[in-house]
Amino acid sequence: MHLSMGKSLPHSLNARISYIINPTKTNGGSLVTTYRCASETADAEWALSHRQYRDRTHRNSDQGVIAYQVRQSFAPGEVTPEEANQIGVEFAHRFLKDKYSFIVATHVDCDHIHNHILWNAVSLDGDRKFRDFYLSGQAVGRLSNQIC
C-alpha cells in the first residue's frame, strides 16, 4: 500500500480500509473478518502501532510500507461468499503466522467473488515490520492454491 500524495498515514489507511469493508460490496458487512483489530478503527490502531514501533526501535516507520494487501479471486460459482471468506481468513492466519493484525473482506458486488486481505506492516508485538521477500508472490499463490 502506498501513501497518496499529500495524505497522512491514517488518512491513507482509512481510505483503503473503507473501500474494502464497504457494506455494499461485503453483503452488509457480514463478509468482513478481522484478527486482532476492529475494521471500524483499524486505521487508528495501525497508525498507533507505527508510532509505537518508531518509538521502540528508533526507526521511522512512516518511510516505507504501512500495510500490505493480497487479493484472491474465484471463478463464478466456484465458492460461496462464506467459503471465500473462510479461505481468506485461513490464508491470512497461515501466511502471517498470527503475528500481524489483518482484515479479510469478501466482495460480492461483481460476477466473481474475491477477497481483499489487508494487514498491518507492524507486528503485533511492535518489534518488527513485515518484509516482502523474494518470490513472495509465488509463495502467496502456492499457499492460496493449497488451501483451496
One DSSP character per residue, 8-73 reads -HHHHHHHHHHHHT-TTTTTTTTTEEEESS-TTTHHHHHHHHHHHHHHHH---TTSS-SEEEEEEE
Residues above pLDDT 70, as percent of the chain: 93
| Per-residue pLDDT tens digits for 71-84 | 999 999 999 999 99
pLDDT, one tens digit per residue, over 100-136 is 999 999 999 999 999 999 999 999 999 999 988 888 8
Report pLDDT for 121.
94
Residues 109 and 25: their CA atoms lie apart, in Å, by 5
Among 38, 37, 32, 50, residue whose Cα is nearest residue 105: 32
pLDDT per position as a tens digit, 56-71: 988 875 567 889 999 9
Which burial class, exposed, middle or buried, applies to 135 when counting CB atoms under 10 A from its CB (0-12, 13-18, 19+)?
A: exposed
Report whether pLDDT(97) > 70: yes
Question: At 1, is the pLDDT very low, low, confident or very high (cuts 50, 70, 90)?
Answer: very low
- Predicted pLDDT of residue 61: 55
What distance in Å separates the CA atoms of residue 27 and residue 80, rounded to the nearest whole number? 12
Average model confidence (pLDDT) across the chain: 91
As a whole number, mean pLDDT of residues 36-48 equals 94
